[in-house]
Chains A and B, each alone.
Chain A
Amino acid sequence: MKKNSLSNVKYHDFVFAQKEPFLLENQETLSKVNIRYECYGKLNAEKSNAILIIHALTGNHHAAGYYKDEKVPGWWDNFIGPGKALDTNKFFVLSSNNLGGCSGSTGPNSINPLDKNGEPYGLNFPSITLGDMVKMQFVLMQHLSIPCFHTIIGSSMGGMMALHWSVHYAKYVKNVIAIAATDAQNSQSIAFSEVARQAITRDPHFKEGKYYQKNKNKENGPKNGLAIARMLAHITYLSDLSMRRKFGRKLNKKNQKGFVLDVEFEIESYLRYQGAKFTDRFDANSYLYITKAMNYFNLKDGFKNLEETFKMSSSRYLIISFNSDWLYPTYMSKQLVEAMLNAGREASFAEIKSDAGHDAFLLEKKELTILIQSFLHGVTEKWK
């Protein structure tokens, strides 16, 4: 176990919409919705130190620390814990699994409470949006009697949701940190999602999403399709430079051409490994629903333009990008900040130099830590 990491972390479940159903953006409803979450640190007496951290596409509620007997800590453990960027000695940090996910919160692999045979939703799960995911977090916030978040922080899809919070729940969020995020995906991102979804739905084991029952032996389900989807997505999270440095053109056996179609280049074996590993932890239907929700997301929806959008907000912002991120490139972050500033918001922008591409939000510990710490210090201390 790493020093300064939290130990004996536990997750919690909260079931809501037991009487009144949970209304979604597409006007469909969900009943008996579960939200799985974790919290680190203590909520102070004034309830003014709550930070919400929002995970990205395939993340989950386990953001920090170790469960009992766990070997690998939560996905953002580098940044959450005593003395870290999100200092659990000062802040109460909350993290939940998004709606539509597959790590405990209600999603397509959950049992449909309205199904007579007690089957999972599969493709009967309603189409969801990032707004719906935020709405579910809002329910959790009320359940925990948190009047207002000190800060909401997220990267990639989590950053997009943090922005949504600040526009649609303005009263409930004082500060926002969005890392490698955007107000709307570009055509290129939607294109990648589409290829990923096609890989899943064209897998013969997909079976219109009804692959769960037979999945008990873990051999069934669109595993190949999901693995290919992940391989493709993984490329978009890296960069030319990081791949050149890590793999180059290296061949893994004797460095000689084998004149076969099998895995030879190191990058091939790496991607296959990443793809296979992913199918053990992620549900293909969740992948379809969440990528689509990301495609739909457009912060400007209902507003004349981005500047008008941010006039709805009262948050202070810190927007961070990575220079090698070609999925949500720096220009997207700059557009956000420029609209915020012209809308009269307090907004800051910083670009971190990193070779790691979009995935840098998991890796660039030093620069991200100083940015987050400085920002939180600046907005928390009295500078009068």
Chain B
Amino acid sequence: MEIEKDFEIISSFIKPESLVLDLGCAEGDLLHYLKQKKAIRARGIEQDFDLVTKCLSKGISVYQGDIKDGLNFYKKEFFDVVILTKTIQQLLEPKEIITAMLSIAKKAIISFLNYGYYRNRIAFLLKGMIPRNLTFPSNWYETSDIHPLTIKDFEKFCFDHRLKILRRYCLKEDWRTESTLLPNLFSKYAIYLVSK
């Protein structure tokens, strides 16, 4: 269910027939959904061989490689939208990646889990340990989330780097309802549409 809501929101950020690149497109489910809903022209990048074959069987054009590979070779503003979901916190150089995304595309969709969610804050305050829960299941030494961030962090980043936030959708704990009141405190997950 949560996946569908996620896809719905992303879809609402995208104009019909857009040319869309999904960085780390996994099995190609999001691109497949957007093809159905918005008749997009879909391109994906995925590192894992087995996932690449799954994209192929859905008729999705996919380039096997690192996210960085894909950002390097496309022409400027080639895409209408480039998407990066739930991955930004795992990247070694998030700033460079976002800059590159907004070089090959006019707009970027970026989503991430909000570390500033109140339960994380309480857990940290009471236990004095990095929060571990359903959303952040791994130990600090096992997690691939090397750059955890909050909604406030991301918005400050956009301000500092003069990126325009065109759309924002923050989800409450139920992964469905929009959180409009103090989202950095009450939202678990945020999806942004940004441009230069």
Contact = CB atoms under 8 A, between A and B. Distances in A.
B58 A378 contact: yes
B32 A350 contact: no
B107 interface: no
A348 B58 CA distance: 12
A316 B55 CA distance: 14
B94 interface: no
A359 B60 CA distance: 28
A230 to B, nearest CB: 33
B191 interface: no
Interface stretch (B8-16, B46-54, B138-146, B174-182): B46-54
Contacts of B63: 337, 341, 347-349
A351 interface: yes
A169 interface: no
A327 B65 CA distance: 21
B64 A384 contact: no
B124 interface: no
Contact of B56 (A318, A342, A384): A318
Contacts of B69: 334
Interface in A235-269: none
B18 interface: no
A371 B56 contact: yes
Nearest to A346: B61
A346 B59 CA distance: 10
Size bracket of the A interface: 20 to 34
Contacts of B60: 378
A379 B55 CA distance: 11
A377 interface: yes
B157 interface: no
A378 B28 CA distance: 12
Interface in A298-334: 316, 318, 334
A375 B43 contact: no
A316 B62 CA distance: 12
A338 interface: yes
A309 B112 CA distance: 40
A128 to B, nearest CB: 34
A130 B35 CA distance: 38
A337 B32 CA distance: 21
Given A342-B75, A350-B56, 19 more contacts: A316-B61, A334-B69, A337-B63, A338-B73, A341-B61, A341-B73, A346-B61, A348-B56, A348-B61, A348-B62, A349-B64, A350-B53, A350-B64, A351-B64, A374-B53, A377-B56, A378-B56, A378-B57, A378-B60
Interface of B: 32, 35-36, 43, 49, 52-65, 69, 73-75, 78
- Nearest 9 Cβ contacts at the A-B interface: A378-B59, A374-B56, A374-B57, A383-B59, A338-B73, A374-B53, A346-B61, A350-B64, A377-B57
30 contacts: A318-B56, A334-B65, A337-B63, A341-B61, A342-B73, A342-B74, A342-B75, A347-B61, A348-B55, A348-B63, A349-B63, A350-B52, A350-B56, A350-B64, A351-B49, A351-B64, A367-B49, A371-B56, A374-B54, A375-B57, A377-B57, A378-B56, A378-B57, A378-B58, A378-B60, A379-B59, A381-B59, A383-B58, A383-B59, A384-B36
